[in-house]
Amino acid sequence: MQIDVVNLEGQKVGQMDVADAVFATKVKDSLLWEAVKAQQAAKRKGTHSTKTRMHVRGGGRKPFRQKGTGNARQGSIRSPNYVGGGVVFGPHPRSYEYTLPRKVKKAALASALSLRAQEKKLVVVDKLVMEAPKSKRIALVLKTLGFDSALVVDAKGNHNLVKSIRNLAAHACLPPEGLNVYDILNHGGLVIAKDAIKAVEARVVGAETEGQAA
């Protein structure tokens, strides 16, 4: 498919061909859900913890004799059935992270990119060159492009762009290697530098193409 290329003023300066398998594939909500769920699970710290009876202080002696008191037999006042006692089967530190199959990750990323393209919320800019870090300047550019919230994608080496965007709460900047489903869906628009398009396509179809060529 072909997509328009604009400048920083939002004026059309040309067109370019992009891979249908990346920007014009069928949008599958189930894949988007799976990808976001996996990313959110990986972010969970999992530091929750409870004390079992071996960790609770106190209860060193038997509270009363075994028989003759009319009470149930007890070995410690820190048993789980006492107030202040240990917790049975409580949460302990763990990792919630799990890995999706590589094909699922790529298909989900293609669905997210295609969704933004179908919604007309994908903009390809000829150059995202900043002479110096200027948050006010890039905020004005993104507003001109029609976005109050946008994810901007360009090469890692564009340090001025990264520094300009990192102070803007509503916007974010990622290199093609870090592009992910959650950040695409979490921002209202997607702005990609023309030179970064091929790297984005390689994230989705690069490995399969190389395998077929071999």
How far apart, in whole angstroms, are the C-alpha atoms of residue 151 and residue 186? 8
Q: Work out the pLDDT band at 58, boundaries 50, 70, 90.
A: confident
Rounded CA gap, 69 and 115, in Å? Answer: 72
The CATH architecture one would assign to domain 2-44+98-213 is 3-Layer(aba) Sandwich (3.40)
pLDDT at 59: 84
Q: Residue 214 pLDDT more than 50?
A: no
pLDDT for res 208: 47
Going by the DSSP 8-state scheme, the letter that residue 131 receives in this structure is S
Q: Over 90: is that where the pLDDT of 206 sits? A: no
Residue 86: how many CB atoms within 10 A of its CB?
Answer: 19
Give the Cα separation of 81 and 151 in Å (integer): 53
Closest to 129 in 3D by CA, of 103, 108, 154: 154
**pLDDT 10s digits, 145-172:** 999 999 999 998 899 999 999 999 999 9
Give the span between the Cα atoms of 140 and 118, in whole angstroms: 25
The one-letter amino acid at 193: A
The rounded distance, in Å, linking the Cα atoms of 12 and 2 is 13
- Please give the average per-residue pLDDT across 14-24, as a whole number: 94
Task: Tell me the CB-side half-sphere exposure of residue 61, using CA atoms within 13 A.
Answer: 3
Q: CA 141, CA 158: separation in Å to the nearest integer?
A: 16
Quick: pLDDT tens for 103-140.
Answer: 999 999 999 999 999 999 999 999 998 889 999 999 99
- Helices (H), ranges, the chain: 20-23, 29-43, 102-118, 135-144, 159-165, 181-185, 197-201, 207-213
3-state secondary structure at position 188: coil
pLDDT of 60 higher than 90: no
Residues 6+ apart with CB under 8 A from 136: none
pTM comes to: 0.82
Edge-to-edge order in the sheet of strand 2-6: 12-17, 2-6, 122-125, 189-193, 150-153, 172-174
pLDDT at 36: 97
Contact, 205 vs 21, CB < 8 A? yes
Domain boundaries, the chain: 2-44+98-213, 50-90
